[in-house]
Chain A
Amino acid sequence: MAPLEVEVSLEPDPVIEAYKKDVDRTLLRERLKRTVEERLRDLTQMQAIAEELHRAGRKAFP
């Protein structure tokens, strides 16, 4: 096995478990109801919104 293929444990990690407490599981359950195509389209829409906000920010606070 090459070094890059090193097996990584999936056992619970205390740091990740701490972060997991803040995950919005209601949102994830809604996401899981959507198809793969819908999930990718949602992401594209979110990217468009983020880019528009960045543009607005650069204009307002040059």
Chain B
Amino acid sequence: MIHFDTVFGVLVRSGVEFIVIGGAAATIHGSARVTRDVDIVYRRTAENLRRMVDALSPHSPYLRGAPPGLPFVWDEDTLRRGLNFTLTTSIGDIDLLGEVTGGGNFEALRPHSSPVQAFGIECLCLNLDKLIQVKRAAGRPKDLESIAELEALREERGKAG
């Protein structure tokens, strides 16, 4: 179970630059679907990698679904060598994405993101149109219902003015 206030708070307080995408972003935009993890696109500067490592180190990050005992080391070198990480942590499952199909990296997505405030903190969330584009670009059959709901949300917002 994800406590969004904890996850976002941990990242924001450590100064991590990130954008909320995926199911959590869909929830922020009004989706009624249940997601089990948080997907974020993080900036891959050296400073941000260090902040990410510092932020999650106290929360026992490990590769989700991997057998226990693997020599997984949570440090800047591991982050630098990889790109996308599906992690389990003591504060919930978090997917760290260096880039996403249809959207690119943090710098490319930043202009398509807006600050959202919740739980006394502020973080960036991917805008609805870009979220739809990213999900369309992924081309996964399992996303079809989700895309339909997001597009319906966009229409409902349009009606509300």
Q: Which residues from chain A sit less than 8 Å from chain B, CB to CB? A: 2, 4-10, 13, 15-17, 19-20, 22-25, 27-29, 31-32, 34-37, 39-40, 42-44, 46-48, 50-51
Contact = CB atoms under 8 A, between A and B. Distances in A.
A40 B28 contact: yes
B23 to A, nearest CB: 8
Given A32-B156, A40-B118, A2 B104 contact: yes
Interface of B: 1-5, 24, 27-28, 30-32, 34-36, 99-105, 108, 116-119, 129, 132-134, 136-137, 144-145, 147-149, 151-153, 156-157, 160
A33 to B, nearest CB: 9
Contacts of A47: 1-2, 34, 36
B104 A8 contact: no
A4 B100 contact: yes
Contacts, number: 105
Nearest to B105: A4
Contacts of B31: 31
Nearest to B116: A36
Given A19-B144, A32-B160, A36-B28, A4 B99 contact: yes
A1 B27 CA distance: 29
A2 B108 contact: yes
B116 A4 contact: no
B32 A27 contact: yes
A57 to B, nearest CB: 15
Given A10-B132, A39-B27, A5 B108 contact: yes
